[in-house]
């Protein structure tokens, strides 16, 4: 429809798809698979499932009026990271006394509410939290939802990777995940100096991936998808490595 704003990454409709796949996956796990280690290092499958539940609970609770404990004073990005890491650790530790069956029931209860909460947002409205890893001091809801999508995709993929059950590595579900992470490249490269017109081409191989170009212009890095005939440098990454690398499940030295 003319006059409607274009949403750069419009994926709120995929949240229920991920949620349904998660519940289906959890119901298929054996007792041994719930205890399998994941690339999240300190967390096994059950811990990751508990963390995903925490995400649902936080989002649903944020839309209700109640008095939560105030956060500590946040003076830097590292302060924020430390605070969130502690919140995550506290929740996962508490959930270790909860059975897998009850975790599934709680996901079935909260997952649809979580999805409806984001579907109700104005995508162009101001987000409650900025997407700081993309260099934003203020974000639109569409970008915040895209970030949430990456979290939901990532943690479910960690589970699937641990128990060797495919399901998310499709064009429909993987491409929005990696496309969102590519949005952070200009900020990630912000301190990398290069001549103007320098072009770094990044390709995630296969039918489910794509190509992005990081171009230096007027002293800044800009992201685009228009291929150039001869890039200054070109990098190819397979999808399985890409999801682990961009989500910090892998470190760069692990894929060199």
Give me the mean pLDDT over the 108-119 stretch: 97
Give me the mean pLDDT over the 173-198 stretch: 96
Give me the mean pLDDT over the 61-80 stretch: 71
Which helix (H) or strand (E) element contains residue 244?
helix 239-246
Q: Is the dihedral of CA 163, 153, 206, 239 positive or negative?
A: negative
Q: Which of 120-124, 172-176, 217-221, 248-252 has the lowest mean pLDDT?
A: 248-252
pLDDT at residue 255 above 60? no
Question: CA 255 → CA 175, 236, 240, 241, 244, distances in Å?
Answer: 21, 12, 11, 8, 10
Q: What is the pLDDT of residues 120-168, one digit of tens each?
A: 999 999 998 899 999 999 999 999 999 999 999 999 999 999 999 998 9
Phi, psi of 69 (to 5 degrees): -65, 135
Supply the pTM of this predicted model: 0.91
Phi, psi of 177 (to 5 degrees): -60, -55
pLDDT confidence of residue 1: 47
Length of the chain equals 256
Average pLDDT, the chain: 91
Tokens of 251: 């470190």
Q: What is the pLDDT of residues 94-112, one digit of tens each?
A: 999 999 999 999 999 999 9
């Amino acid at each position: 429809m003319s006059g409607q704003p274009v949403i750069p990454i419009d994926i709120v409709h995929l949240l229920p798809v991920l949620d349904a796949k998660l519940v289906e996956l959890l119901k298929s796990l054996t007792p041994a698979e719930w205890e399998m280690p994941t690339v999240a290092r300190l967390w096994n499958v059950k811990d990751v499932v508990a963390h995903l539940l925490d995400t649902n609970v936080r989002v649903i609770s944020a839309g209700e009026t109640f008095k939560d404990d105030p956060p500590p004073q946040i003076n830097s990005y590292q302060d924020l990271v430390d605070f969130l890491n502690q919140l995550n650790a506290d929740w996962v530790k508490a959930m270790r006394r909860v059975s897998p069956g009850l975790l599934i029931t709680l996901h079935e209860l909260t997952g649809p509410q979580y999805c409806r909460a984001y579907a109700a947002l104005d995508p162009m409205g101001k987000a409650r939290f900025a997407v700081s890893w993309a260099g934003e001091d203020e974000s639109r809801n569409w970008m915040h939802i895209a970030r949430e999508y990456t979290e939901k995709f990532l943690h479910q993929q960690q589970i699937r990777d641990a128990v060797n059950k495919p399901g998310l590595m499709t064009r429909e579900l993987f491409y929005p995940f990696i496309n969102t992470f590519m949005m952070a490249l200009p900020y990630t490269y912000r301190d990398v100096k290069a001549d103007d017109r320098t072009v770094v081409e990044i390709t995630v191989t296969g039918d489910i991936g794509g190509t992005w170009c990081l171009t230096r212009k007027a002293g800044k890095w800009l992201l685009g998808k228009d291929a150039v005939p001869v890039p200054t440098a070109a990098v190819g990454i397979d999808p399985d490595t890409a999801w682990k690398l961009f989500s910090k499940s892998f470190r760069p030295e692990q894929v060199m």
